[in-house]
Amino acid sequence: MLTLGIDDAGRGPVLGSMFLAGVLLEKDHEAFLKKQGVTDSKLLFHFKRVVLAKVIEANCEDFHIVKASANDIDFSIIHGINLNTLEAMKTAEIINKINNEKRHKEKIKVIVDCPSTNIVAWRNKLITFVKHINNLEVICEHKADFNHPSVSAASILAKVEREKEIEKIKEQYKNLGNPGSGYPGDPSTQEFLKKHGKELKDSGIFRKTWSTWKIMFPEKLPGQASLKDFK
């Protein structure tokens, strides 16, 4: 049986995109990648993630990465699609891409690091977006990025893509200062947002439906959803 691990990176930031990756592995691949040091991306330094990302891509059956930009996230929330639902849709996009017609006769165990506190409800929602389910065993759990090599590998690919984007943003706006990691708790991000948020309002790099933005710039957007959409 093949195993498809899926994880996200950049779910919480106020700046930049969210990325999701899926990595399809055979048993031998899982054992090999574990020996190479593949684990939850949060436990690794950036340079190690970059090295391991290349090892993962060269030693897997398949992989696929999808992106939800800041604008995509804002558009979804404004139109009543909360972040959990958007992530279910993006997760299904990965599953549908990798579980193509050629693989419909193969048994695939899909393991997803669940973004919701309600695992059962989120899994049920995910299933509604999956096109072909008959050959799949879908497992959603917390801390899957630590417990399963396939999900660890996915977490690394997603994190590396997120870091690449942040570096591009830093290069693009280097004359304005350091945007930091993009996370609301990062002092550099807070300072950058405070100084240049209004100026870069339409740049597409900020999530303007985030409470961080709305508290700093209390301006209601047309058709904006309420805070309950974040739950």
pLDDT digits (tens, 9 = 90+) for 155-185: 999 999 999 999 999 999 999 999 999 999 9
pLDDT at 225 over 80: no
What domains does the chain contain, in order, with CATH numbers? 2-163 (3.30.420.10), 169-230 (no CATH)
Strands 18-25 and 108-113: unpaired
Angle at 54 between CA 51 and CA 55, to 5 degrees: 90
CA–CA separation, 211 vs 83, rounded Å?
13
pLDDT at 229 over 90: no
Give the Å distances, CA to CA, from 161 to 35, 106, 156, 189, 223.
23, 29, 9, 19, 31
pLDDT, average across residues 4-27: 97
CB neighbours of 135 closer than 8 A, spacing ≥ 6? Answer: 99, 103, 104, 105, 106, 107, 108
- The proportion of the chain whose per-residue pLDDT surpasses 70, expressed as a percent, equals 95
Q: What is the pTM of this model?
A: 0.92
CA–CA separation, 220 vs 198, rounded Å?
14
What does pLDDT average to over the chain?
Answer: 94
Tokens of 214: 């709305």
Per residue in 19-70, pLDDT (tens digit) is 999 999 999 999 999 999 999 999 999 999 999 999 999 999 999 999 999 9
Helix (H) or strand (E) holding 139: strand 136-141
CA–CA separation, 49 vs 157, rounded Å?
8
Q: What is the pLDDT of residue 1?
A: 87
Q: What is the pLDDT of residue 222?
A: 52
Tokens of 141: 């759990």
Among candidate residues 128, 205, 145, the one with its CA nearest the CA of residue 173:
205
